Structure 1
Amino acid sequence: MNDNAPTFSGPLEFSVSEQCSPDTEIGLVTATDLDEKDTLHVKIKYSLLSGIELFSIHPESGMLIAKTSNLDREVQVVHKVVVEIRDMNGDEKGLFNTATATVTLVDINDNPPTFREATYKVRIDENQADVLVLRIPVDDKDEKKTKNWNAKLVITEGNENGNFRIDTDPETNEGLLYVVKPLDYEKGKVVKMKVTAQNEAPLAGTSASWVSIPLELSVGDVDEGPEFSPPHLVLLVNENTPNGTLLSTYAALDPETKSSAGMRYYNVDDPNSWINVGENTGELKVANTINLKSPLVTNAMYNITIKAVDKSGKSGNGTVTLLIKDVNDNMPEIDKGELVLCEEPNGGRGSVTIVAVDPDLPPYSTPFNFQLPDGHDGKWRLRSIQNNSAVLEQATDMPRGLYRVPVRVSDLQGQGGVQEVQVRVCRCLGGQCAPQRSSAMLGVWGVLAMLLALLLLLLLCIHFVFACTTKGEKVYIDDSSGGMLLMSNTEGPGEDVKSAHLLTIPPTCDSADGSLKKGFLDRMGATSPVSQHQTGQQINQHLIGQQMNQNSFYQTSMRDSLSQGQKGFYSSGRYGGATYTDAALLKQSQLSALYTWQTNGLYLDKKLGYFGDEAEERYADDLLTPYGYEGEGSPAGSVGCCSNLGDQDNLDFLDSLGSKFKTLADICLDREEDIP
């Protein structure tokens, strides 16, 4: 049974461009029926119940169609039509449904913008720039904020010099007229323009065209400063032009009077001070040497700014550009550095490339001409001469070393001269000269000689150390028993007990060295000679295993009874053990011992002076000090500042030193019996 009415199954919102042509398909209306398929119960017929004057619908397919071309969005944007669907192929007994379809018209640029005024007049003073002169409102019926509505105003006449610019206010769609270049009252009091209003999108669907209106702009007169004519002067000048040369006269005029009377001219910007400007005339004269190679010259151009000041104090600036022409004032120069010519591995002859530089510009520079001057030695030749270089190669085999090769180089105009090229011929390693083998051999011998000299110097120093400073470790005792006393360190701390009296050399004494005794006797005026035989006997009596002609150092201390009746005498020193046969050698031995005693005496005298100059509090520190001796305390007590300071020439103090020095003397000195 036909018990189901048809229903709409698709959207009912459509759009179409305004001013579309008749029979334009707008959209398809769809419907369904739940009754049995392929029967009259599901056969649907479409029809419009409203809007039939503008639209139509196909009864079987449901296609909605524009019926006319008078669809105008500016009149009505949205159209609503009622659509009916009925089954049974539209029979009155069939079941049906209705719905409203919406058709929205899409805007096209069928309305050009229009001006609110038929003409505009405005005034502006001369010499003003980047100033808003006028706001020009326009109207447009098309959809706002679209390309069909956005206005674009164009100056179609009167802006040949580019003095004006028109922008658009995006919010109000107004045209904004600006003056971008100053106007000159003297050149034109009134500027007439034509302004046309357009859209961003082209016109469509209409026969209308863009609208234009006239615009008149009056220029106000202002007292202006002087003006240079032309504003930018270009002068061609040769470099090195003589000073004082007149290049041109650059004068300025008062725009109102068209006169340059009373003008004064000044040089505002001239970094190299190349031009002098006549203060009253505007004459441009060369002041300093014009040099094309100056760092302030760019592309052979040098700019200068000149200022003109009229009687009222108003000023104007002009620019002078010097277009500098090059002259041939430089010669090509070869690098003065040393070139390295490496020997070929296979024994072939090597070559080097020489390069020349000329700061002049063509045609006064490259290509250069390289030649070997007349009368050269024939050891070199040139080849592969290029723009600014040439290859110098050996013409004959030659030994390694530094060579000075004369080469004549000249520029394209033939200006140049002979220059020396330093070439070092050598065996190379890594592009640099390697050291020669002969130099390496000399270096080895030199190092060996230095090492040998250092070794000899070291041996000499060791010899002097043993000969001059080393003391014997053994002290021989002048005793028939042949025993010896070994030096031993004390087991406890002690004080310096040396006294100036102990180091005084007596007039005459006996010692283990007979030559020393004879030396002292000679000093005191003794006349009895001592023979070499007697000296040897004395040495044999006091030394064990000592050779007669052997030089040695030894230390001894003794106490002898002199044959003249003198008391015992203490002596300690270092003496040579050689025998002497003449007075010169005896005196030398005497001086050696004397210098030793004098040195010790100076030291002890200085110390005694220190004891005497110190304050009294210093002696409070001089306390009795026990001296360790074989593990036992010393009965001698302190050996300090209270030692005998008597006359150095008196030897009686040796018999009255007391127990203080007894223990020390037993250890350090050799005691002998008095000689009868």
Structure 2
Amino acid sequence: MYERALFALCLLTSVLFQSAASCDLRPVLAQVPKRLPAGYVISEGKKELTLEGCAVKPVAFTSSDPDFAVNTDGTIFTVHGLEITIKRFSVLVQDENGSEWRVDIVLSCKDEASQKSGSVAHKRAKRRWRPLPFNLFENDKPPFPKELEMIASDSSVNYTVYYKISGQGVDKDPVGLFILNKQTGMLSVTRAVDREQYPQFNFKAQVFDLSGRETDQYLPITVNVNDMNDNAPEFSGNRFFTVEERCRAGTVIGKLNATDKDEPKTLHTSIKFTLLNATDMFSIDAFTGVLTAKTNTLDREAQDKVFVEVEIRDMGGAPSGLFTKGTVVVNLTDVNDNPPTFKEKLYKAKVKENQENMVVTRIPVEDKDLINTPNWRALFEVTKGNESGNFRMETDPKTNEGLLYVIKGLDYEKTPLVKLEITARNDVPLVGVEPKWMSVPVELSVEDEDEGPEFNPGILYLKVKENVANGTVIGTYKAVDPEKKNSDGIKYYKITDPGNWINVVENTGELKVANTIDRESPLVHKDMYNITIRAVDESKKTGKGTVILQIEDVNDNIPVIPGTDLIMCSKGNTLSSVLVEAVDMDKAPYSSPFTFELGADNDGKWKLKDTTDTSVVLEPASAILNGVYSVPLIVKDLQGLGKEQIMNVRVCNCEREENGVGICGVRSASSSLGSLGILALVLSGLLLLLLSLLLIFICSTKRDKLYINDDTGTGGMLLKSNTEAPGEEVKDDALMIIPGGELVDGSVKSGLMESKNVTSAPGRYGQPLFQGGTGVYNTTTQEFGTEKYYSSGRYDNNMSGNLTMQKFSNTSALDTWKTNGRYLERKLAYFGEEEEGRYADDLLKTYGNEGMGSPAGSVGCCSIVGEQESMDFLNTLGPKFRPLADVCYTTNRTGN
């Protein structure tokens, strides 16, 4: 069979070559003058244009260059005058069959020097090149070289020439593929060629005379390599696809791609796709490669991956075509097409009565869908037998088993056997109409236990009026032993009774009132009050019950006005009013609507209006002044029960009103001053007058210079401190410091020293200052009116010396005051001395900050030593004298 196909191909090739040889269309080569006038004839009746030897007749000629035209007989002439050096164009010849033939025209200028004689110059030289392009078959078989085609030039008629080729395949890669016989012009190929590597070759041929001069224009040569089917198709792109199971038939799964290296758009590259297996599941388009589902029964649970063998064959799938086989993988994804199924047809279990919140049994299921997906996870439900809500179902997330819980205790005496039906579902709906959710029956055997007494009913409702007499029996609440079916031997006790309102008779279960039942108590919610009772049988088993008292109201509360202090805003000439509201803890018909009346002590200044069920508007009968008024008001409920209540109404100028309630503004002096206020103003005026007279008296007296020592740093002012210790404003420098004192255990030590080597030096504030070797004398003489006082003291690092005050004349009242000041100074100096009994408490101490308690100590032990004048008042100055002493002590302190 293969030999016959090869013979037919060779026969077709020979026929084609014979046709080409019999219809030999070569280019028209002509030499023309450089200047061509219009109408110049290029050629006349060339056989190339008349299709001589082609067995057809030309009917039309078309020039590709508008400067040239062709007559119906094939004569070429110029249309316009032009000048050329070389000119190339083509003529399209249409035959009587409608086929088109192309003839190349090449014009070149005449070269007189190239002609062999002068007579030849008047003769047009003829050229002849073989038709282009040439063809060869790829993968040709030896022997090589093989002759391919002959090239020739008409210039060989006039010259002895030789030929030469150059370019691709000759002296360029692939080098040496083509060779040329220089004398004959025969072109040969030296080896086989692969079209997929070199589909075409382009090089040029040249002709030379013996002198090496090129006698003609070079000829471009094109060699086309004819394709042979030497490459099998290959798969390209993805070959892994995914589709849902149970997808409908015709669903596109994916597209296969294939390539072929042979010449495109030929039978060599016409590929056909064929399935070699799984043809019952899939189908493929033979020429597009689109893979589709053939059925709607693809089942992931049966096969989650399908390996499909596909063949691709060129030559349109002909048996002679080349082929390749490959595998396509189709993954089937899961859908919920399988319901959970139970492993057993009936499940049985046991449970003890009264057990709660425990697992009774585990119910396993199977699901063929993909594990740990919503298609696989099971949801369980008790669809029958759970009308009382005793059970619930859960799912074990690891095993996918159903867990049956009992959440309310079962009663063996009532239901010794419980029949249930359990249904299993998935998280998502089922796909398809055939599968349905499945159910399984479950039987639970209830095991008997010795139970405690049971109250019947479990909750007892009793109606009782509030305020019923203590000891009243309001009902009986008994329990029954479920095994004996009676109440013998059962005793009763209270568990909860918030208000201790009820007593339970231990043996009978009677409920008696123990304390006043009050419906308005906060222990009552919506007229109901709860009590829990415990019943205990002879075996110490217990039961519990609840009693709910539904308390009926009685008229035991009167209407009251919550706020009796009311504010009425004064509005000038317009009458003001205020809203009075009342409440009653009782409910209808013992509460609203209320009746409002003014009391008997009403002075006629007030009236009521706009009465509602629970409120009334109070307003003055006529204009009244600002002030506080007492208004008696009687409020009664619907049954006429009530009493008189006093309203304190303040009439004032309101600063603002919030939610209808006035806020009084600040009262002016004119409105707030009474008789006591006026008296206070008069007394203040008299005090001011007396103070003025005192100032006039002081200013009229003789002014003497007063010695003030500013060593304390206070600036001549007494500073106020809120505690007995010095404040922040009284610094350490402002406190009295005993000159030369040393701190020993928080006290000041001082000693006596003698004077020697006394020198004189100017003192501060005009005082003469005498300084000795180990101490300083300070003397001061001051005049106060008609009196002179002299003081002297010696100070060193240990103690103050002596301080004497001498009286030179009689004193006036002012002088007496100054004399007392000197005694005070002496007293201060005395405080600096260390003696028994005054070591810690009577010495002045400096504190850096204020603190709790009084650091001032006591002045009770102070006394005047060596003086005849009575200064007892200094002993009663109190602890506040200490801060004052710190400021007023003015003795100068100097030393080495």
TM-score (norm 1): 0.65
Cross-structure match for 1:241: 468
Q: How many Å apart are 1:325 and its aligned residue?
A: 2.4
Cross-structure match for 1:400: 626
Cross-structure match for 1:81: 308
CA–CA separation in structure 2 for the residues paired with 1:67 and 1:332: 90
2:609 matched to 1:383?
yes
CA–CA separation in structure 1 for the residues paired with 2:421 and 2:655: 83
Structural mapping, 1:635-646, within 5 Å: none
Cross-structure match for 1:207: 434
Cross-structure match for 2:374: 147
2:678 matched to 1:452?
no
Cross-structure match for 1:432: 664
Q: Say if 1:81 and 1:286 are closer, same or farther in 2 by CA, change over 3 A.
A: same
Cross-structure match for 1:632: none
2:710 matched to 1:410?
no
Q: What is the number of equivalent residue pairs in this alignment?
A: 492
Q: Is the 8 A contact 1:555 1:574 kept in 2?
A: no
Q: Say if 1:375 and 1:432 are closer, same or farther in 2 by CA, change over 3 A.
A: closer
CA–CA separation in structure 1 for the residues paired with 2:614 and 2:403: 62
Amino acid at match of 2:652: C
CA–CA separation in structure 2 for the residues paired with 1:118 and 1:379: 95
Q: Say if 1:336 and 1:47 are closer, same or farther in 2 by CA, change over 3 A.
A: closer
Cross-structure match for 1:156: 383
CA–CA separation in structure 1 for the residues paired with 2:307 and 2:271: 22
Structural mapping, 1:128-277, within 5 Å: 128-205=355-432, 207-277=434-504
Q: Say if 1:198 and 1:317 are closer, same or farther in 2 by CA, change over 3 A.
A: same
Amino acid at match of 1:112: P
Amino acid at match of 1:437: S
Q: How many Å apart are 1:226 and its aligned residue?
A: 0.8
Amino acid at match of 2:554: V
CA–CA separation in structure 2 for the residues paired with 1:18 and 1:342: 86
Q: Say if 1:399 and 1:63 are closer, same or farther in 2 by CA, change over 3 A.
A: same
Q: Is the 8 A contact 1:56 1:64 kept in 2?
A: yes
Amino acid at match of 1:348: T
Q: How many Å apart are 1:255 and its aligned residue?
A: 0.9
Q: How many Å apart are 1:290 and its aligned residue?
A: 0.9
CA–CA separation in structure 2 for the residues paired with 1:64 and 1:574: 138
2:721 matched to 1:488?
no
Match of 1:64 among 270, 285, 291: 291
Q: Secondary structure at the match of 2:286?
A: coil
Q: How many Å apart are 1:78 and its aligned residue?
A: 1.0
Q: How many Å apart are 1:257 and its aligned residue?
A: 0.1
CA–CA separation in structure 1 for the residues paired with 2:623 and 2:803: 85
Uncovered stretches (5+) of structure 1, i.e. residues with no partner? 467-484, 499-553, 557-572, 576-613, 616-639, 644-676
Cross-structure match for 1:285: 512
Q: Secondary structure at the match of 1:224?
A: coil
CA–CA separation in structure 1 for the residues paired with 2:671 and 2:532: 69
Q: Say if 1:240 and 1:34 are closer, same or farther in 2 by CA, change over 3 A.
A: farther
RMSD: 3.8
- Farther off after superposition, 254-263 or 87-96: 87-96
Amino acid at match of 2:680: G
Q: How many Å apart are 1:110 and its aligned residue?
A: 2.9
CA–CA separation in structure 1 for the residues paired with 2:622 and 2:805: 88
CA–CA separation in structure 2 for the residues paired with 1:497 and 1:370: 88
CA–CA separation in structure 1 for the residues paired with 2:678 and 2:575: 31
Q: Say if 1:487 and 1:398 are closer, same or farther in 2 by CA, change over 3 A.
A: closer
Q: Is the 8 A contact 1:381 1:392 kept in 2?
A: yes
Per-residue displacement from partner, 1:351-407 (whole Å, max 9, x unpaired)?
112121222234433343334468955432323334432221222123333322233
Normalized per residue, which structure has more helix? 1
Q: Secondary structure at the match of 1:334?
A: coil
2:531 matched to 1:304?
yes
Amino acid at match of 2:681: V
Q: Say if 1:141 and 1:380 are closer, same or farther in 2 by CA, change over 3 A.
A: same
Amino acid at match of 2:542: S
Q: Is the 8 A contact 2:336 2:430 kept in 1?
A: yes
Q: How many Å apart are 1:307 and its aligned residue?
A: 1.0
Give me the identity figure in percent.
Answer: 50
Q: Say if 1:255 and 1:32 are closer, same or farther in 2 by CA, change over 3 A.
A: same
Amino acid at match of 1:432: C
2:345 matched to 1:118?
yes
CA–CA separation in structure 2 for the residues paired with 1:491 and 1:157: 121
CA–CA separation in structure 2 for the residues paired with 1:56 and 1:495: 136
Cross-structure match for 2:541: 314
CA–CA separation in structure 2 for the residues paired with 1:103 and 1:154: 38
Q: How many Å apart are 1:306 and its aligned residue?
A: 0.7
Q: Secondary structure at the match of 1:100?
A: strand
Per-residue displacement from partner, 1:87-142 (whole Å, max 9, x unpaired)?
44333454544321111222233333222233222222212112222122222222
Q: Say if 1:415 and 1:438 are closer, same or farther in 2 by CA, change over 3 A.
A: closer
Match of 2:328 among 87, 101, 106: 101
TM-score (norm 2): 0.50
Cross-structure match for 1:505: none
CA–CA separation in structure 1 for the residues paired with 2:591 and 2:328: 89
Q: Is the 8 A contact 1:227 1:317 kept in 2?
A: yes
Q: Say if 1:274 and 1:2 are closer, same or farther in 2 by CA, change over 3 A.
A: farther
Q: Is the 8 A contact 2:310 2:325 kept in 1?
A: yes
Per-residue displacement from partner, 1:644-676 (whole Å, max 9, x unpaired)?
xxxxxxxxxxxxxxxxxxxxxxxxxxxxxxxxx
Match of 1:323 among 538, 550, 553: 550
Cross-structure match for 1:420: 646
- Larger-Rg structure: 2
Per-residue displacement from partner, 1:600-630 (whole Å, max 9, x unpaired)?
xxxxxxxxxxxxxx99xxxxxxxxxxxxxxx
Q: Is the 8 A contact 2:601 2:632 kept in 1?
A: no
CA–CA separation in structure 1 for the residues paired with 2:790 and 2:381: 123
Q: Say if 1:295 and 1:60 are closer, same or farther in 2 by CA, change over 3 A.
A: same
CA–CA separation in structure 1 for the residues paired with 2:321 and 2:595: 113
Structural mapping, 1:534-545, within 5 Å: none
2:592 matched to 1:366?
yes
Q: Is the 8 A contact 1:236 1:323 kept in 2?
A: yes
Q: How many Å apart are 1:234 and its aligned residue?
A: 1.6
CA–CA separation in structure 1 for the residues paired with 2:453 and 2:332: 64
Q: Secondary structure at the match of 2:388?
A: coil
Q: How many Å apart are 1:462 and its aligned residue?
A: 12
Q: Secondary structure at the match of 2:684?
A: helix
Q: Secondary structure at the match of 1:236?
A: strand
Q: Say if 1:252 and 1:461 are closer, same or farther in 2 by CA, change over 3 A.
A: farther
2:214 matched to 1:26?
no
Q: Say if 1:24 and 1:425 are closer, same or farther in 2 by CA, change over 3 A.
A: closer
Match of 1:349 among 565, 569, 575: 575
Q: Secondary structure at the match of 2:686?
A: helix
Q: Is the 8 A contact 2:655 2:664 kept in 1?
A: yes
Q: How many Å apart are 1:83 and its aligned residue?
A: 2.0
Q: Is the 8 A contact 1:110 1:206 kept in 2?
A: no
Q: Secondary structure at the match of 1:341?
A: strand
CA–CA separation in structure 2 for the residues paired with 1:246 and 1:276: 9
Q: Is the 8 A contact 1:25 1:63 kept in 2?
A: yes
